[in-house]
Amino acid sequence: MNNLLPYLKTKSPSGESKTFRLTQTKYTIGRVPENDIALPEEDGVISRIEHCCLEKKNGQWHLTDNSTNGTIVQHEQEQFQLQDLPNQEYIIDTEDKIIIHNWELEYIDPHKTNSVVMNIPKTPFVFNVSESRLYGIKQGIRHNIYLTENQEKTMVFMANQKLAQGKDHICNYKELNKAIWNHDNATNHQGLMDTIQEIRDIFEKNKGKREGIVNRRGRGYFLTIDCEP
């Protein structure tokens, strides 16, 4: 069954290759042997303990940088620093290469499901309804953004309405309250305002400015980001 598992193919500065089958759910990567995957070098550029971490969450492998000198990811023909991404975290894809100083680690998933080709979003965020996920878009690459249960319910409802009703469709307070708390009446207006504010804060944190949800005073809110079924 091991040949069904994804693996890392490491290449040392001298050109020596080694394969690590990903049988655990978390791996620390660093300079000394105490790490799950050790990358020895004498320059002191790679952090001793947990330069970066590879962890499986919800069926996907997340790479997180914890270092001083950074971790580079090469996705197809594009390279970028993990330190430039929100939370310094990236959901890794098959054939992506992790570059740490003079070491190269290639992630291979031999049984990856092919993805449906999607239109390139025009906004810095996209919400996928079927996945119930908000993605930030940086350099053409999607990065999953964590949402709480109420934030997710809000985004699912508003995205569905936008897809069904068209651009700038306003979701009123009553229907939003019902979508989140299953209230027939708009009895939790403050809770709704708090949830909307939390989502706006997420947009600001991940893009440096508030965008994504617009308020129409006395009427409700609408989404300005791209949405997918």
CATH of the domain at 159: 1.10.10.10
> Which three-class secondary structure state does DSSP give residue 151?
helix
For residue 183, give both structure tokens: 């209230």
Query: For the whole prediction, is pTM greater than 0.85?
Result: no
Using a pLDDT cut of 90, give the percent of the chain over it.
45
Clarify whether residues 163 and 214 are in a common domain. yes
Clarify whether residues 97 and 151 are in a common domain. no
Clarify whether residues 103 and 132 are in a common domain. no
pLDDT digits (tens, 9 = 90+) for 4-29: 789 999 999 999 999 999 999 999 99
Last residue of some domain: 81, 108, 135?
108
Taking the CA of residue 142 as centre, how many other CA atoms within 13 Å lie in the half-sphere pointing to its CB? 18
The rounded distance, in Å, linking the Cα atoms of 63 and 51 is 11
Last residue of some domain: 61, 83, 108?
108
pLDDT digits (tens, 9 = 90+) for 54-87: 999 888 899 999 999 999 999 887 788 888 776 7
Clarify whether residues 99 and 172 are in a common domain. no
Residue 20 pairs with which residues in a beta bridge? 8
Domain membership of residue 144 (yes or no) is: yes
Least confident of 38-47, 101-110, 198-207: 198-207
Q: How confident is the model at residue 117 (pLDDT cuts 50, 70, 90)?
A: very low
Domain count, the chain: 2
State the residue range of the domain holding 174: 125-228
Residue 52: predicted pLDDT? 97
Residue 158: predicted pLDDT? 93
